[in-house]
Amino acid sequence: MAGLQPTVTVKKRFPAPSPDTTAWRIFHDAASEVWVDHFDGRWLVQTREPDFPGFVTQLAEGVADSIYWRPRDKAAATAPVLVAGESVAERFAVRENGASFWIDFRAGYSCGIFLDQRLNRRWVGEIARPGQRVLNTFAYTGGFSVMAALAGATTTTVDLSGTYLDWTWENFTLNGLDPAAHHGVKGDAFNWLRTFARQGRTFHGIVLDPPTFSRKAKGTFRSERDYADLAALAAALIEPGGWILCCANTHGLTSERFERDVLRGIRSRRRRVLSREDPGMPPEFRGDEYLKSLRLVVE
C-alpha cells in the first residue's frame, strides 16, 4: 500500500574505523541495550537483558570466528561465556591506530582495553613529544602510556592494581617499548598526585580517567561530586603549556557540568586554560554518550 514504510529493522555493523585498527565497537543498539565489541574476529556481546540476543549470530556471519557473551547485570568480575564458534583460551593482540594491545577474555572486569577511548588514545599519541614527561593516572592496562611512549615521551603510570601494571608492561613490550625506560607506581592516584607535588615533580601531559566511584586512602571519590578536586591536583603538576586529558565515565554528569567542575579545579590553582576541546565519543558509540572528555592546554 502506498505510504507504508517497511517495519523490519536492518541491523548494521560499524566498519573498522581505520585499516590499522582491529578492535572497535561493531554494533550497538541503545534501545534494546545490546553492545558488541569486535576484537580481531572475536566478538564480545554485552546485554542488559539476561537472554542472548539471537540476531547477533546472524550479524556475525562471515565476520566473527567466536562469539562471547556477558549480561551486564552479572558481577563485574564475571568472565564472558562462549556462545558460538571457537573458544578463545589464550590472550591475543589487537591493533588500534598502529599500536598493539593484549586482550584476555578470561579477565573479569574488562578484557584489556576500553574501546570508547580510541580517539583520546590517538590524541595522546599525537600531542606527546619526544623527551616530554607524561603522567597516566587510573591507567588500567596503560593504553594512554603506550601511546605517549610510542611518541617518544617518558611515562609514569599509576594504578591501584599490580596486575594491571604488569599488563601495562606487557603492552609496552608488545609495542617494542622498553619498560625499564618508564616508571610505574602501584597505589592510590590521589595520594600520588599529592606526593608528586610535594616532590616538585612536573609533567608535560597528564591523563585523568578515574572510575565513577573509587575508594581513596582517605574517604571516597565520586566523579559527579569530586572532579574539581582531582583536576586541581593535576593543575599543580602541569608544566606551563602542558596538556591535561580529563575523562569521566558517568551517565549522570552532563558535559556542561563536567566542564564547569574541571575548569573550577584548574583555576583554583591559579592556572589559566589556554584551550579546551570536547572530542565527543567515537562515532560507533554515538547515541549513548556516557563518556565525557575534555582536552585542555594550560598556560
Ligand X SMILES: C[S@@+](CC[C@H](N)C(=O)[O-])C[C@H]1O[C@@H](n2cnc3c(N)ncnc32)[C@H](O)[C@@H]1O
Alpha carbon of residue 10 to chain centroid: 29
Residue 143 as a binder of ligand X (CB under 6 A): the answer is yes
User: Site for ligand X (CB under 6 A): which residue of 84, 160, 197, 273?
Assistant: 160
By CB under 6 A, tell whether 211 contacts ligand X: yes
Q: Where are the beta strands (DSSP E) in 91-212?
A: 92-96, 99-103, 133-137, 154-159, 183-186, 203-208
Asked if 209 is part of the footprint of ligand X (rule: CB under 6 A), the reply reads yes
> Least Å distance between CB 115 and ligand X?
10
Q: What is the CA radius of gyration of the chain?
A: 20
Q: Taking the complex as a whole, how short is the minimal distance between the CB of residue 139 and ligand X, in angstroms?
A: 6
Residue 188 touching ligand X (CB under 6 A): yes
Q: Under rule CB under 6 A, which residues in 85-114 are in contact with ligand X?
A: 114
Binding part of the chain for ligand X, among 46-54, 92-100, 154-162, 166-174 by CB under 6 A, reads 154-162
Site for ligand X in 214-253 (CB under 6 A): 214, 216, 249
Cβ closest to ligand X, residue 39 vs residue 138 = 138
How far apart CA 136 and CA 120 sit, in angstroms, is: 12
Q: Assess 159 for contact with ligand X (CB under 6 A).
A: yes
Number of residues that bind ligand X (CB under 6 A): 21
Judged by phi (left if over 0) then psi (alpha if -120 to 50, else beta), residue 122 lies in alpha
Minimum gap (Å) between residue 114 Cβ and ligand X:
5
The cell numbers describing 291, all together, are 563518556
Q: In the β-sheet with 238-249, what is the strand arrangement from edge to edge?
A: 183-186, 154-159, 133-137, 203-208, 238-249, 291-298, 273-277
Specify the stretch interacting with ligand X by CB under 6 A; choose among 32-40, 61-69, 207-215, 236-244. Answer: 207-215
* Beta bridge mates, 208: 137, 246
Binding status of residue 140 toward ligand X by CB under 6 A: yes
223-235 vs 189-198: helix axis angle to the nearest 10? 20
Q: Which residues in the 257-276 window bind ligand X by CB under 6 A? A: none
For β-strands 238-249 and 133-137, DSSP reports them as unpaired
Give residue 51's Cα distance to chain centre. Answer: 27
Under rule CB under 6 A, residue 175 binds ligand X: no
Q: Which of 25, 44, 103 is nearest to 290 (CA)?
A: 25
Q: Judged by CB, which is closer to ligand X: 60, or 207?
A: 207
Among 60, 119, 189, 237, binds ligand X (CB under 6 A): 189
Nearer Cβ to ligand X, position 198 or 270?
Answer: 198
Pick 67 or 247: Cβ nearer ligand X = 247
Select the residue interacting with ligand X from 47, 117, 132, 293 (CB under 6 A).
117
What residues contact 67, with CB distance under 8 A and at least 6 apart?
Answer: 43, 45, 56, 57, 60, 82, 83, 84, 85
**Nearest CB to ligand X, comparing residues 60 and 151:** 151
69 makes contact with ligand X (CB under 6 A): no
**Chain residues that interact with ligand X, rule: CB under 6 A:** 114, 117, 138-141, 143-144, 158-161, 164, 188-190, 209, 211, 214, 216, 249
